[in-house]
């Protein structure tokens, strides 16, 4: 468990205390943007591999169970992962001022389009839902640490991205933030935006459904847990 905690702490440090703070600007100023991104990608991948190996070791050794939601928890997890993959796939395929190297979109007359009307952080919302699903359905300490780290990083990441975009373009961000929300559907419920399914793209949604179906089918082969035939 010590190794897992250390790996998760490193992953959190990389994303929330380096990438998400002024330290990023210091590093890019010293080594350049491209070098920074390369090193960041390598460090992130290394941390994830370390996390996965440590998590597998903890699981094989027997991680202490904290709760067991049974079949109900499994059903909830399937729904959450479905929504998560829709958010991730559609989010990646949609132009978004909060995405890397797309800050210039804030200058557009209508920067909040498609799924961005639902949430300005669709990818990170997807990661959040995915992490919550696994924490709930697994119910053990190792899973809480492993998946909880992704949950924490994604939630903190939304706040950090908002802060960086606001600092870079206060006027553009103010207009964008007025029509969007971190939490899905809040801006729509409050009347600050409207849901336009056609604008989201039925093809993108279909792609998300396809990815979900593939992951369900191959989950047992890839991760060793058959979610279609839970124990």
Neighbouring residues of 57: CB distance < 8 A, sequence distance ≥ 6: 3, 4
Residue 31 pLDDT level (bands cut at 50, 70, 90): confident
For residue 20, the model assigns a pLDDT of 63
Pick the more confident residue, 62 or 90: 90
Any idea what the Cα angle at residue 96 is, between residues 91 and 97, rounded to 5°? 150
Among 12, 215, 219, 230, CA closest to 139 = 230
Taking only the tens place, the pLDDT of each residue in 104-157 is 999 888 999 999 999 999 999 999 999 999 999 999 999 999 999 999 999 999
**pTM for the whole thing?**
0.93
Residue 83 has pLDDT above 80, yes or no: yes
100, 110 Cβ separation under 8 angstroms = no
Q: Where are the domains of the chain?
A: 1-62, 64-223
Q: What is the DSSP string of the chain?
A: -HHHHHHHHHHHIIIIIITTSTHHHHHHHHH-HHHHHHHHHHHHHHHHHHHHHHHHHHHHH-PPB----HHHHHHHHHHHHHHHHHHHHHHHTS--TTSTT-GGGGGSS----GGGGT-S-HHHHHHHHHHHHHHHHH-BHHHHHHHHHHHHHHHHHHHHHHHHHHHH-HHHHHHHHHT--SSTTHHHHTTSS---HHHH-HHHHHHHHHHHHHHHHHHHHHHS--TTS--
Residue 227 has pLDDT above 90, yes or no: no
């Amino acid at each position: 468990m010590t190794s897992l905690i250390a790996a998760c702490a490193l992953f959190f440090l990389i994303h929330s205390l380096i990438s998400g703070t002024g330290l990023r600007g210091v590093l890019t100023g010293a080594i350049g943007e491209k070098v920074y991104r390369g090193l960041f990608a390598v460090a992130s991948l290394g941390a994830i591999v370390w996390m996965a190996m440590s998590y597998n070791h903890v699981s094989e050794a027997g991680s202490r169970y904290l709760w067991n939601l049974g079949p109900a928890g499994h059903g909830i997890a399937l729904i959450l992962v479905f929504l998560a993959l829709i958010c991730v796939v559609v989010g990646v395929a949609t132009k978004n001022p909060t995405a890397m190297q797309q800050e210039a979109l804030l200058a557009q007359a209508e920067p909040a389009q498609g799924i961005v009307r639902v949430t300005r952080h669709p990818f990170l919302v997807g990661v959040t839902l995915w992490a919550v699903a696994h924490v709930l359905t697994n119910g053990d300490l190792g899973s809480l640490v492993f998946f909880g780290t992704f949950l924490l990083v994604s939630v903190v990441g939304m706040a950090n991205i908002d802060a960086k975009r606001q600092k870079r373009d206060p006027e553009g961000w103010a207009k964008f933030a007025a029509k969007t929300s971190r939490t899905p559907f809040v801006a729509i419920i409050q009347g600050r935006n409207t849901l336009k399914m056609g604008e989201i793209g039925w093809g993108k949604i279909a792609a998300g459904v396809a990815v979900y179906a593939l992951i369900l089918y191959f989950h047992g082969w890839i991760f060793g847990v058959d979610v279609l035939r839970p124990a």
